[in-house]
Amino acid sequence: MFTLKNNFKLIPFVLLISSFNFLFFHIPFFQFVFETINYKSLNGIFVIASLMVLMLVLNAFVFSLLLTLSQKIGKFLLVLFFLINAVAVYFVATYGVIIDESMIGNILNTNYDESSSFFSYKLIIYLVLLGVLPSYIIVKSKIEKITFKKFSILSGLTILFALVLVFVNATNWLWIDKNSKKLGGLAMPWSYVVNTSLFYIHEYKKNEKEILLPDAKIKDTEKAIVVLVIGESARRQNFSLYNYDKNTNPLLSLTPDVFHFDANSSATYTTAGVKSILDHKETSDLYEILPNYLYRNDVEVFWRTTNWGEPPVHIKNYQDRAYLQSIAKEEDKNYDAVLLSGLKEQILASKKNKILVVLHTSTSHGPSYNTKYPSQFEHFKPVCKSVELSNCSQNELINAYDNTIVYTDYLLHRTIEELKQLKSYKSTMLFVSDHGESLGEKNLYMHGIPMSIAPKEQYEIPFIVWLPDDSSKKIKKFDMLSQYHVFHSVLNFLHIESPIYNEEMNIFE
């Protein structure tokens, strides 16, 4: 019987740690494998066995390489892997997320308010049992060094064995390639190691300075205002405007001149979704976004936000949650109604004829849906009050989420009522969500699944427009809209002439 005071030989030690890593952190990985392959067939058994052996052997190889180069650095990295693995597998198991590059971007753009809402005692249990305890073993273990010659021989044999195993699985390459995103996103620790590296590589490749669009020209002096409300995690199937069987739009459904369109988001996470709403076309480049473009071309722009994750906004009037709370009524301070605090007065104080207002909301962002609206908007009960969404019944979870849509309905209606009071302005309101949301369908929660495999709940979004009947503008008919329609529609409504304007992407006649 060994103790931690005994010396470990390198190979048994890395095989032990690799086995821990395999047993603790790969249940979701193999759940997915068993769901997508015929595990009762001879070929299915061979694929599963090959994946298990490869995972054990290759992880042991990498761990041995780290420890051979430097035991201090190797141990530090192993401890870091186990701690992060514990947190990552908690989120995979609890919310059904995939740790791909887009999810890494989502994580790195999450602020304290959002991240703190995920805290639970279950997370602490995962961290202590699967992270801290194995880390203690790693730190306290004494590992005997092996010669470079022996390590080189073992490394060569390991690589040769892995190549042979990959080669004999040649008939299964198509299955592996088809499922590579999900397999890669569930393999710990390489899901976040590789995808974090890819994220920063792609961030580095992005333009350090945004690409300016061609100059625009304001065509007239008519006073006009567009309020663009960017929704957060609002999926259209839960809006009664879209024939949902619960009345989640009690105010908008009775408001004249409200139009709604089917739309799909271009991504399933905030940073990419918001960028698409503000971009003039589908692109991965950092072009000048709508508020920056209009501000540079002499349009008054107000950006008000209780959220985060937008591209760099270069305007004078950028107002965050802290500022808005300082001027808000007490009953609005903790909710998205704070976005309307003093807005009408700010608009009336403007000396510009053309105005864009962006309200970036956070109302339907999980997991704490029940905290995103005042108590009087809790129309549907009982509600989920846990951040561990799988612990709630489907009915409780959907009720809590639906109440956020009821509150969104109130916020949009209130925005319309304030615009109606601005008699000297021609006005319109656009509401477009950044992405949708999963609420337990297919055991998935929230958002962030890669678009190539994302369920419709995460990309089918509402696109709602209010346009007064006495407006000189009318609404075109569309079967389907995209987030990119926003840019060109705003230019058209404000009578902005631009070389990059695309009439086909404009919703107004």
Average pLDDT estimate for 176-195: 80
pLDDT at 177 over 80: no
What pLDDT, on the 0 to 100 scale, is given for residue 190? 82
What's the mean pLDDT in 96-114?
A: 71
Question: Average pLDDT for residues 207-212, to the nearest whole number?
Answer: 78
Question: What is d(CA 144, CA 148) in angstroms, rounded to the nearest whole number?
Answer: 13
Would the pLDDT of 307 be above 60?
Answer: yes
- Cα distances (Å, whole numbers) of residue 462 to 131, 188, 430: 41, 36, 10
Most confident of 72-86, 141-155, 350-364: 350-364
Label residue 96 exposed, middle or buried (CB < 10 Å: 0-12, 13-18, 19+). Answer: buried
pLDDT reported for residue 167 = 74
Name the band, by pLDDT with cuts 50, 70 and 90, for residue 486. very high
Hey, how many other C-beta atoms are within 10 angstroms of the C-beta on 509? 10
- pLDDT cut 90: percent of the chain above it: 54
pLDDT confidence of residue 366: 86
User: For residue 2, what pLDDT is reported?
Assistant: 46
What pLDDT, on the 0 to 100 scale, is given for residue 208? 57
Query: Which is more confident, 302 or 3?
Result: 302
- Highest-pLDDT range among 58-72, 91-105, 179-193: 58-72
> Is the pLDDT reported for residue 116 higher than 70?
no
Q: Provide the Cα torsion 387, 390, 395, 399; round to 10°.
A: 20
pLDDT-derived band at 506, boundaries 50, 70, 90? very high
pLDDT band at 341 (very low <50, low <70, confident <90, very high): very high
Q: How confident is the model at residue 340 (pLDDT cuts 50, 70, 90)?
A: very high
pLDDT of residue 147: 78
> Is the pLDDT at 462 greater than 60, yes or no?
yes
Is 246 in a helix, a strand, or coil?
coil
Dist. CA 57–CA 19, nearest whole Å: 9
Average pLDDT estimate for 15-29 = 88
DSSP assignment of 407-476: HHHHHHHHHHHHHHT-TTSEEEEEEEES---EESGGG-EES---TTT--GGGTEEEEEEE--TTSS--BP
Choice between 88 and 276, residue whose per-residue pLDDT is larger: 276
Residue 1 confidence class, pLDDT cut points 50, 70, 90: very low
pLDDT of 241 strictly over 60: yes
Largest CA distance in the chain: 87
- Domains detected in the chain: 7-205 (no CATH), 217-365+403-439+454-505 (3.40.720.10)
**Stated length of the chain:** 509
Is the pLDDT reported for residue 57 higher than 90?
Answer: no
CB contact set of 504 (below 8 Å; sequence gap of 6+): none
Q: What is the pTM of this model?
A: 0.75
What distances in angstroms separate CA 116 from CA 88, 362, 390, one per listed residue? 15, 15, 18
> Can you give the pLDDT at residue 209?
78
pLDDT at 38 over 90: no
- Calculate ∠ Cα 212-307-104, nearest 5°: 80
pLDDT of residue 210 exceeding 70? yes
| Mean pLDDT (the chain, rounded) | 89
Residue 174: predicted pLDDT? 59
Res. 426 pLDDT band, cuts 50 70 90: very high
What's the pLDDT band for 213 if we cut at 50, 70, 90? very high
The whole-number pLDDT of residue 202 equals 66
Q: What pLDDT score does 36 carry?
A: 81
What is the per-residue pLDDT for 178?
67
Q: 408-424, pLDDT tens digit by residue?
A: 999 999 999 999 999 99
Lowest-pLDDT choice from 54-58, 222-226, 265-269 = 54-58
**Which of 41-45, 325-329, 366-370, 473-477 is predicted least confidently?**
41-45
Question: In the predicted model, is pLDDT for residue 367 greater than 90?
Answer: no
Residue 116, judged by CB atoms within 10 A of its CB (0-12, 13-18, 19+), counts as exposed
pLDDT at 5 over 70: no
